[in-house]
Amino acid sequence: SPALLPSPQEVGPTMVGDEHSDPNLMSFLGATKRNTLGNHFWEYYVNDAPRIVLNKLESCGYRVVSMTGVGQTLVWCLHKE
C-alpha cells in the first residue's frame, strides 16, 4: 500500500511575535494574540505557512539574517533595513 504523506497545507501555526511586539505589524500579519495554558507570557500566531509570513515581512523591509532548527521548530532571525 502507498505511504501516506502529510498534505503541504498541514503547517502552522506560525509564531510571529511576543507580548511586546508592534501591534500594528501583528495586525498587518493578521496575527492573533494568545496565552497557552502553562505559559506565563502571550504570543502572536497566524495560521499561514512561514513562507507567506516571510513574504509579507519582506514587503515591509525585513530581511532574513539567519535561520536554525530547534527540534521540529524552525526559527528565523530578521532585521528591518
Cβ pair 44, 32 in contact under 8 A: yes
Pull the grid cell for residue 29: 500579519
pTM, two decimal places: 0.77
Fold of 8-80: Gtp Cyclohydrolase I Feedback Regulatory Protein; Chain: K (3.30.1410)
DSSP lists the bridge partners of residue 69 as: 74
Each residue's pLDDT, cut to its tens digit, for the chain (81 residues) gives 455 554 455 567 899 999 999 999 999 999 999 988 888 899 999 999 999 999 999 999 999 999 999 888 889 999 998
